[in-house]
Amino acid sequence: MKKQLPQGSEIHFLTKPSFAFLLDQNPYLDKLLLLHPNLGETLSDIKQQTYDYIVDLHNNLRTLNIKSRTGIPSFAFDKLNFKKFLLTAFHLNRLPSIHIVDRYFNTIKSLGIMNDGDGLDYFSPASVDHLLTENQLLNHEFITMAIGGQHATKRMPINKLSEIIDKTRYKVVLLGGKEDTMTGNALFEKHQDKVINFVGRLSVHESAGAVDRSRLLVTHDTGMMHIAAALKKPVMAIWGNTVPDFGMTPYYGNERVPTFNFEVDGLRCRPCSKLGYSKCPKGHFNCMNLQDTTRIADKINSF
């Protein structure tokens, strides 16, 4: 977007403080604004600037409040919530066959901004060479596996993850947050000869550095999946209660990078949510329990 705007144009980005580290090294942003707990302070920050437009990619109550109270002309992303509701509640798929990235670009098409086809950007992945050296991986092929997920219904049960590890021929570097520590430790205890456990030990940038060094990423529907796509790494994406039809698959632009989506087809209960749940609403969790781990491992091994 920055490259296509008139010379001298500025782009300021408003985000939560917890996400600032993902954007503070982005050379295409001129200023980073952080949301305050008090919305009035955020509004004050915005009003101190002279904005021509607001591009609202969240389109929620908070951003509606911001737009109405600042009076700045705006463009709002169409979240297609009703069509998502039809898919999750009645399994009627009326969603367009278009990636969410392209839908974001449609939001600002009246500004003459076009998709350049270069895919996603990710800045400042940290070096993990010292960790790879310590674990004798620096000059060897390995895969990364992101074992977490924001909601339990997006995460494979530990026994299924273990089956994939057992069947793949690669060394496996486990990635995840501190909340995934118990799972990471259990997988390491069972596969000590094959697993390097970085779960809970790395920052997001460091995890990105590990993915960048790896052969490919095995992941659930997670943010690391999109970081891997930005780094142009192959992705094996395992889908539970969410579906690729929501338009949030790994996005590479015009570059051809192998990516594979693994789903359990034919489940009438799926997708049950556009986000996820703390447990399967039906109790059986077949969207993950019926995943074919041999098929997943065979596809990994084909690399």
User: pTM for the complete prediction?
Assistant: 0.94
Residues 141 and 63 in one domain: no
Q: 83: how many CB neighbours lie within 10 A of its CB?
A: 16
Residue 206 domain boundaries: 129-301
Q: Specify whether 71 is located in the same domain as 213.
A: no
Residues 71, 51 contacting (CB under 8 angstroms): no
Question: Which residues are CB-contacts of 197 (< 8 A; sequence separation ≥ 6)?
Answer: 174, 184, 185, 187, 188
**Of the residues 57, 77, 97, the one at which a domain ends:** 77
178 in the same domain as 294: yes
d(CA 106, CA 76): 10
| Confidence (pLDDT) at 1 | 84
- Which residue has tokens 């109790």? 283
**Would you call the peptide bond into 125 cis, given omega within 30 degrees of 0 as the criterion?**
no
Compute mean pLDDT per 10 residues along the chain, 303 residues long, and list them: 90 96 95 96 96 96 96 96 96 96 95 94 92 91 96 98 98 97 98 97 97 97 97 98 96 96 96 95 97 98 90
- The CATH number that applies at residue 155 is 3.40.50.2000
- Rounded Cα distance between 235 and 143, Å, is 10
In a domain, residue 105? The reply is no
Domain assignment of residue 106, yes or no: no
Q: Do 135 and 265 belong together in one domain? A: yes
Say yes or no: 183 and 56 in one domain. Answer: no
Is 286 in contact with 217 (CB distance < 8 Å)?
no
pLDDT, position 166: 98
Please indicate, yes or no, whether residues 171 and 291 belong to a single structural domain of this protein.
yes
Per the structure, how many domains does the chain have? 2
pLDDT of residue 256: 94
Instruction: Tell me, yes or no, whether 150 and 283 share the same domain.
Output: yes
* Domain match, 140 and 70 both: no
The pLDDT value given to residue 2: 87
For residues 280 and 152, give the distance between their C-alpha atoms in angstroms, rounded to a whole number.
8
Please tell me whether residues 56 and 152 are part of one structural domain.
no
